[in-house]
Amino acid sequence: MWAPALLALTTFADIQPILERRCVNCHRKGDIGPMPLETFAQARPWAKAIREAVLSKRMPPWFADPRYGHFANDPTLTEAERKALIEWASYPVAGRDVDVARRPGGLPHMNLRITAPRPFRIPAGAEVPYQFLILPLDTSIPRWVSAIHLIPKDRAVVHHAVLYVRERSDPWLRSATPGVYFTADGPSSRTTSDILAVYTPGSGPVTLRLGMAKLIPAGADLILQIHYTAKPKQAAVDQMQVALRWYQGQPTHRVLTLQMGNDHIRIPPGDGDYRLSVSGTLPQPALLLSMLPHMHLRGSAFEYQIAGASGRVETLLRVKPYNFYWQIHYQLAEPRPLAAGARLLLTAYYDNSPNNPRNPDPDAEVTWGEQSWQEMMIGFFDVAVPPDMDKRHYFTRP
Ligand code: HEC
């Protein structure tokens, strides 16, 4: 008797490119996803969980309000992709399904890898102050960088990391010994040095657009700032690796990472709608490339807006709900020109009420601090400027 092959409608070969595009960035071996989803053998046992996560839209994680902006790294599934994943996950053992050869690639080729000279131990349950580590470079010529990847050894304990470029003439942290972890308090931790990359869980390698690069000037070195969060019951060890790819040729744009923030935080106990804002005028024309909002456990929403000369306010990004555990770097699909004199407005919203399930203590008055039970407000953003302009030039009007 002939029976129609009901099950084999969607095979792994159909959904593998979807996993590759939307999931593998986090669900690859060694990354933050709890399991790799690169091959049939890896994905098959998770079919039920994949079905549930895709149906409930819990995966892939993304928090930008779809009414504002278009983002290159938006992993949101199209309706067709959702249907295909759900169909495969409902019948993952269809007879004709076989593993397909993985396409090579994924991670960009890197020219230089620098590993922290020694491991850092994070005791169980400890509160660890920000660690700094100077990585000396020996470069007598300026280096243009087209891709940067910060790779922790134990991703579970790295809350975030920032990689700075310290120029030869910069006195910042000069008294510290290179290659040795150290802490720096309040004022000495502040800097106007350029940022090469910000690592947050799931961020993966940063690859700049063609024509765009970050600059490591001759004689500069790199400084890592790492925020470790301990596991409650188990000691951990991390050793960060920095991977860089050189730009081939001369770029047309230099990419700078800028930030604006407000440290005057005083959230009353129980306040469910505390707002904080900050604004600044952009002194030079630039192309806006990406945005990365940063708050802690009480953060509930974050907005980037731009006010043009006419006073018209336009929303560039609205992250709502903000989720501390998903620090996402929102990369614009197309660079957005910002005129000199445009005013950038950032607004952060906090929920210190008991309705916030992540709130460590609704009875506390919350002020600025580096630890997750304290608060912060920073909006990072990358801009592209002419290649001969550095951060100081950017802020000094011609
Ligand atoms: C930005 C990183 C990221 C992306 C992109 C991502 N995931 Fe995840 N995923 C995670 C992390 C981290 C967890 C564990 C924490 C959690 O469940 O919230 C997880 C959990 C899961 C789980 C639940 C596992 C369990 O324990 O039940 C499934 C299933 C899953 N992901 C499937 C997917 C699929 C399918 C995609 C793509 C359509 C995807 N994820 C995209 C990071 C990611």
For residue 268, give the DSSP letter: P
| CA 60 to ligand 1 centroid distance, Å | 6
Q: What integer pLDDT is reported at residue 394 of this predicted model?
A: 82
Among the listed residues 257, 282, 276, the one whose alpha carbon sits nearest the alpha carbon of residue 350: 276
Domain boundaries, the chain: 12-90, 107-250, 252-398
| CA 363 to ligand 1 centroid distance, Å | 33
Specify the residue with its C-alpha closest to ligand 1, atom 26: 34
Same fold, 107-250 and 252-398: yes
CATH class of 252-398: mainly beta
Specify the residue with its C-alpha closest to ligand 1, atom 19: 33
Run of H or E including 256: strand 253-261
Residue 48 sits at φ, ψ, to 5 deg, of: -65, -45
Q: What integer pLDDT is reported at residue 273 of this predicted model?
A: 97
Query: Residue 27 and residue 279: Cα distance in Å, rounded?
Result: 37
215 conformational bin, left if phi > 0, alpha if psi -120 to 50, beta if neither? beta
Tokens found for residue 381: 């953003």
**Domain 107-250, what architecture?**
Sandwich (2.60)
Q: What integer pLDDT is reported at residue 138 of this predicted model?
A: 82
Q: Full-prediction pTM beyond 0.85? A: no
Q: What integer pLDDT is reported at residue 106 of this predicted model?
A: 57
DSSP string for residues in 233-244? SS-EEE--EEEE
| CA 327 to ligand 1 centroid distance, Å | 14
Neighbours of 209 (CB within 10 A): 17
Mean pLDDT, consecutive 10-residue stretches, the chain (398 aa), reads 49 87 88 89 92 94 94 91 89 55 60 93 94 91 93 90 94 94 81 89 83 95 94 95 92 94 96 96 93 95 91 94 88 93 95 96 94 92 93 73
56 three-class SS = coil
Ligand 1 pocket, Cβ-based, cut-off 6 angstroms: 22-23, 25-27, 32-34, 46, 49-50, 53-54, 59-61, 75, 77, 202
Instruction: Give yes or no for a contact between 241 and 114, defined as CB atoms under 8 angstroms apart.
Output: yes
**Ligand 1 pocket test, candidate residues 12, 21, 27, most atoms within 8 A of CB:** 27
Ligand 1 atom closest to 58 (CA) = 18
CB crowding 277-309: b at 16 or more within 10 Å, else e: ebeeebebebbbbbbbbbbbbbbbbbbbbbbee
Ligand 1 atom closest to 35 (CA) = 24
